[in-house]
Amino acid sequence: MKTPVSVLRLPRGPDPNSRGFDPSSPRFLALCPTSVPSSSSSSSDEEEQRLRAELRERFLRTLLLMTGKRVRFDMHEHVRVHARFGASDIDVLNLQVSDLETPLGVQREALLRCQDVIACSFEV
């Protein structure tokens, strides 16, 4: 009867909350340029960055405002459903919703895949 080879631990699996590529890892720090803007960057780059940051902030604030509200989700294949929006995950891959109204009935709790969602609308 052979002895099985021992292992220190099992390989680490994916983090369910993020897509990984840890920015504090030695490889990332060594190979990626720092995010501090250099004085040589053109003003159009800075303007674009400022606009991107503004759009991102508006998007995040919209998500916050959506919390707890009844939202209409327009999805692929002409699917349109209503549900109460709970939260998004950190990479905006999935949306947690409650009381999802589907043709098959009301789903108490559900996750919507963001890649399937085209638009969402709600009353402010």
Partner 1 sequence: MVSMAMRQTPLTCSGHTRPVVDLAFSGITPYGYFLISACKDGKPMLRQGDTGDWIGTFLGHKGAVWGATLNKEATKAATAAADFTAKVWDAVTGDEVLTLAHKHIVKSVNFTEDSNYLLTGGNDKVLRIYDLSKPEAEPQEIAGHTSAIKKALWCNNDQQILSAADDKTIRLWDKNTKEAVKTLSFDASVSSMEYIPDGEILVITYGKTVAFHNAQSLDLIKSVDAPASIHSASLHPEKDFFVAGGDDFKLYKYDYTTKEELESYKGHFGPVHCVRFSPDGELYASGSEDGTLRLWQTAVGKTYGLWKCVLPEELSSENSEALYCPPAEIKA
Determine if 32 is a binding residue for partner 1 (CB under 8 A): yes
Q: How far apart are CA 21 and CA 27, in angstroms?
A: 10
- How many residues contact partner 1, by CB under 8 A? 29
Is there a contact between 118 and 74 (Cβ–Cβ < 8 Å)? Answer: yes
Among 17, 24, 26, 119, binds partner 1 (CB under 8 A): 26
Q: Which stretch binds partner 1 (CB under 8 A): 29-37, 42-50, 65-73, 98-106?
A: 29-37
Half-sphere exposure of residue 77: CA atoms within 13 angstroms, side-chain side: 3
Determine if 3 is a binding residue for partner 1 (CB under 8 A): yes
Q: How far apart are CA 7 and CA 58, in angstroms?
A: 48
Among 17, 24, 31, 105, binds partner 1 (CB under 8 A): 31
Q: How far is the CB of 19 from partner 1 (least distance, A)?
A: 5
CA distances, 48 to each of 33, 51, 53, 107, 111 (Å): 19, 5, 9, 42, 33
Binding site for partner 1 (CB under 8 A): 2-15, 19-23, 25-28, 30-32, 91, 93, 115
